Amino acid sequence: MGVARAVVFGGVSVLPAILVGVIFFLILGGANEDWASWMWVPCYILPIGLIVSAAVYGWKTDIAVEVE
């Protein structure tokens, strides 16, 4: 069940991670510039980091259920 929970947590966090990345990109003023090397952080590293951290959280917080 841990893998399924991790996939669900990671899948559900895709949209919020992308929105956080876009907001961070706009705050840094990226919409008015050409592509620069600093844009890797808000466009790729931050969203992927948030998705992976949500999946790890889902995996680590799995509670074992005993069936009688």
The answer to whether position 67 is within a domain reads: no
pLDDT of 10 over the 90 cut:
yes
The answer to whether residue 66 is domain-embedded is no
Measured between alpha carbons, how far is 33 from 38 in angstroms, rounded to an integer? Answer: 11
Q: Is residue 39 part of a domain?
A: yes
* Structure confidence at residue 41 as a pLDDT band (50, 70, 90): confident
What is the average pLDDT across 30-58? 87
Confidence class of residue 52 from pLDDT cuts 50, 70 and 90? very high
- Is there a domain that residue 68 lies in? no
| pTM of the shown model | 0.82
Among 42, 56, 51, 58, smallest CA distance to 1 is for 58
Question: Do the domain assignments include residue 52?
Answer: yes
Question: What is the residue range of 24's domain?
Answer: 2-60
Q: Could you give the number of structural domains in the chain?
A: 1
Whether residue 18 is contained in a domain is answered as yes
- Look at residue 23 in the predicted model and tell me its pLDDT: 92
